């Protein structure tokens, strides 16, 4: 009992000595070093309570909301439909959407309308199973050069090509070269497979052969081969499964495609921030009735 009391007294004396030492060094109570922790806690709490207020105060967002571009869009019924579709997605589905919309505007050169058959090709049960990198490769400039070649579908369905593909890229290319008028096609295929060797398994797949021979896929190739379209940028956008639906398939977006005001908005950083945020788009972008 006596030893416990002594231990307690010693402990109190040691603590008092440390406090006294820090006080003499002007280090107690601490005058700095705690603001970061308190500030971080406050910021976190504020963000949880009112993330929308924090976002609305951003200078770029405010600049967009005060711009002529925004006020012209706010009265456009097609824009209202577009916003309503984005609201239906919810904030989680809008992550990064502003940037993707901007890329789509650049890639499509302001012409957003895609033929229904081309859309059907993108929604085909076979095509939707492809990975984003595979989609991007097939719809790049090099991929479209192959898909648009009338002899390509026949060549890849031949027994010789399938046998060559089972051995490797060089053998697959030579198998195509040995077909009638296959020199140019072999060169294009070689350029493509040198960039995307993993796509050989797709090209030699029976399902791909059926897809490329369909009318819808040809409509897609024709639509994406327009001179005004930036093929590779669009291919990158289409490779994103989420972006594909936003950019190509939603009618409200396509209906706004001829609007120069809308294109300007897509390139505005404030608009992009709003689209990718947790803001209530209906309250932020649509006028109160």
Could you report the per-residue pLDDT of 130-149, keeping only the tens digit for each? 998 999 999 999 999 999 98
Instruction: Tell the residue number behind the tokens 């820090």, with chain if given.
Output: 22
Q: What is the pLDDT of residue 259?
A: 78
Task: Output the pTM of the full model.
Answer: 0.66
Best CA proximity match to 222, nearest among 117, 125, 131, 129: 117
CB of 182 within 8 A of CB of 155?
yes
CA-nearest of 72, 62, 135 to 284 is: 62
Intervals of the chain under pLDDT 70: 1-54, 91-93, 242-249, 289
Q: Given this model, what pLDDT does residue 92 score?
A: 65
pLDDT at res. 239: 78
pLDDT of residue 93: 67
**What are the helix (H) ranges across 25-65?**
35-56, 59-65
- The position carrying tokens 């956008």 is 237
Task: Please answer whether residues 194 and 204 qualify as being in contact, where contact means their C-beta atoms are separated by less than 8 angstroms.
Answer: no
Structure tokens at 265: 């908005």
Q: Two tokens at 76?
A: 């456009």
> Are residues 166 and 156 in contact, defined by beta-carbon separation less than 8 angstroms?
no
**CA terminus-to-terminus distance, the chain:** 79
């Amino acid at each position: 009992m006596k030893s416990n009391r002594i231990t307690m007294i010693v402990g109190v004396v040691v603590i008092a000595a440390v406090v006294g030492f820090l006080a003499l060094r002007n280090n107690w109570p601490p005058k700095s070093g705690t603001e970061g922790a308190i500030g971080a806690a406050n910021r976190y709490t504020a963000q949880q309570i009112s993330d929308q207020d924090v976002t609305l105060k951003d200078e770029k967002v405010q600049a967009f909301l005060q711009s002529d571009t925004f006020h012209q869009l706010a009265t456009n019924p097609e824009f209202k439909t577009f916003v309503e579709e984005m609201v239906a997605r919810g904030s989680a589905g809008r992550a990064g959407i502003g940037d993707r919309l901007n890329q789509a505007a650049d890639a499509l050169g302001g012409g957003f309308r895609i033929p229904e058959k081309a859309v059907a090709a993108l929604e085909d049960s076979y095509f939707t199973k492809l990975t984003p990198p595979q989609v991007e490769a097939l719809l790049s400039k090099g991929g479209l050069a192959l898909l648009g070649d009338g002899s390509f579908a026949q060549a890849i369905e031949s027994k010789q090509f399938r046998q060559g593909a089972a051995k490797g890229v060089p053998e697959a290319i030579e198998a195509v070269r040995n077909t009638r008028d296959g020199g140019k096609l072999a060169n294009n295929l070689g350029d493509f497979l040198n960039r995307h060797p993993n796509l050989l398994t797709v090209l030699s797949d029976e399902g791909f052969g059926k897809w490329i021979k369909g009318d819808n896929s040809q409509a897609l190739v024709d639509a994406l081969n327009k001179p005004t379209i930036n093929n590779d940028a669009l291919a990158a956008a289409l490779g994103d499964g989420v972006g594909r639906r936003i950019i190509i398939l939603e009618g409200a977006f396509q209906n706004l495609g001829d609007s120069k005001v809308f294109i300007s908005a897509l390139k505005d950083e404030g608009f992009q921030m709003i689209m990718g945020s947790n803001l209530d788009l209906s309250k932020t972008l649509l006028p109160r009735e």
